[in-house]
């Protein structure tokens, strides 16, 4: 069985392997022992602490194959970004130039450095190992975060965002960053991305262009990738769009990938998830072909997985097997949160 749970200190080696496999552009997991250990410790603390309003918490979960004990994926949520360091984006806008004297009107796209998403919750650190990219595993790993948002809304910002990986080649070279490197930063994309992942962002404030950037003055290769997603990221973007996320003209400052957003309470899986009372039986009475993401309502002991259940629109309770109850750390009479795949 594949079960999602909060990360533990003992998962360090697995997280390091995932960081290596994730490759270029996966800013949230740089290959750095100290940083990865810090992320685990921060997540453990976040799951354990009492929270009245979101701050600098980060919730990191892993997907475990309970048959082998192997960690095969990870996903996370930042409670409220930009609380301890600047959270940069470019905002894509338009300036209009008109002269009645010469009868000319031009609209020019612009990029403005901003911190507009400060305080938003962020979906991040989604990675599923190659051998497990099949069936509904990817949807489970991605959408399970909405179960946390639904169960513990007070822990997260009212707006939820997700940064989509932008266009880069197999060597990690980004057409958009190429312009930035040549004229401003002077370091390789992989180095800038790595420093950003470490939280060492002072160089951005010191070296990024301070004035509005006119898109028409960028190289054509850089212009073409603004707001475009990496091929490997398209399935993730499609899933988020189905949940109600939309692009509001904000892009990553390095690879120009789009950042999508949705109000926390408007996310489809948050709105549609339900709480049902658990009945534990040796074998559910009827077979069912409908798959659900199912999760307990605990925090530090959060557990979630996939299950086929008999649930109707009128259901207030649900029969589950003792095996599923054990995996989810549930007892009879406790609530179970469900969302149909």
- Neighbour-count burial for 303-337, b at 16+ CB within 10 Å, e otherwise: bbbbbebebeeeeeebbbeeebbebbebeeeebbb
DSSP element (H, E) containing 84:
none
67: Cβ contacts below 8 Å, ≥ 6 apart: 1
3-state helix, strand, coil in the chain (%, to 5): 35, 30, 40
Tell me the three state secondary structure of residue 53. coil
* Strand (E) or helix (H) holding 335: strand 335-340
Give the separation between CA 284 and CA 91, rounded to whole angstroms.
52
The 8-class DSSP code of residue 219 comes to -
Q: Distance between alpha carbon 193 and the CA centroid of its chain, in Å? A: 17
**How far apart, in whole angstroms, are the C-alpha atoms of residue 162 and residue 159?**
10
Contacts of 226 (CB under 8 A, 6+ apart): 92, 111, 176, 215, 251, 256
Looking up tokens 């998962």 gives 11
CA distance between the termini of the chain: 17
Q: Is 115 an annotated catalytic residue?
A: no
The single residue of 115, 183, 230, 298 carrying the catalytic annotation is: 230
* Nearest alpha carbon to residue 44 among 11, 6, 84, 77: 6
- Kindly list the catalytic residues: 230
């Amino acid at each position: 069985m594949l079960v999602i749970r909060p990360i533990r200190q003992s998962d360090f080696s697995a997280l390091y392997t995932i960081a290596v496999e994730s490759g270029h552009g996966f800013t949230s997991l740089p290959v750095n022992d100290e940083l990865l250990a810090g992320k685990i410790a921060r997540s453990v603390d976040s799951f354990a602490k009492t929270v009245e309003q979101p701050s600098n918490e980060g919730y990191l979960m892993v997907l475990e194959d309970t048959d082998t004990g192997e960690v095969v994926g990870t996903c996370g949520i930042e409670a409220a970004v930009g609380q301890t360091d600047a959270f940069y984006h470019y905002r894509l806008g338009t300036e209009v130039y008109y002269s009645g004297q010469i009868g000319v009107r031009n609209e020019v796209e612009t990029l403005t450095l901003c911190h507009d998403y400060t305080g938003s919750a962020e979906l991040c650190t989604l990675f599923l190992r190659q051998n497990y990219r099949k069936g509904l595993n990817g949807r489970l790993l991605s959408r399970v975060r909405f179960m946390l948002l639904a169960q513990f809304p007070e822990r997260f910002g009212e707006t939820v965002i997700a940064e989509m990986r932008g266009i880069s080649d197999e060597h990690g070279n980004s057409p958009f960053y190429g312009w930035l490197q040549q004229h401003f930063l002077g370091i390789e994309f992989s180095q800038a991305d790595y420093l950003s992942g470490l939280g060492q962002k002072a160089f951005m404030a010191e070296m990024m262009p301070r004035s509005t950037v006119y898109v028409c003055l960028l190289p054509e290769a850089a212009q073409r990738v603004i707001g475009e997603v990496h091929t490997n990221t398209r399935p993730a973007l499609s899933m988020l769009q189905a949940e109600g996320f939309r692009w509001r003209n904000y892009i990553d400052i390095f690879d120009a990938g789009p950042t999508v957003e949705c109000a926390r309470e408007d996310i489809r899986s948050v709105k549609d998830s339900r709480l049902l009372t658990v009945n534990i039986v040796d074998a559910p009475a009827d077979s069912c072909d409908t798959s659900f993401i199912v999760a307990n309502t605990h925090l530090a002991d959060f557990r979630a997985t996939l299950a086929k259940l008999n649930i109707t629109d009128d259901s207030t309770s649900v029969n589950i097997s003792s095996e599923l109850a054990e995996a989810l750390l549930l007892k009879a009479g406790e609530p179970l949160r469900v969302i149909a795949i």
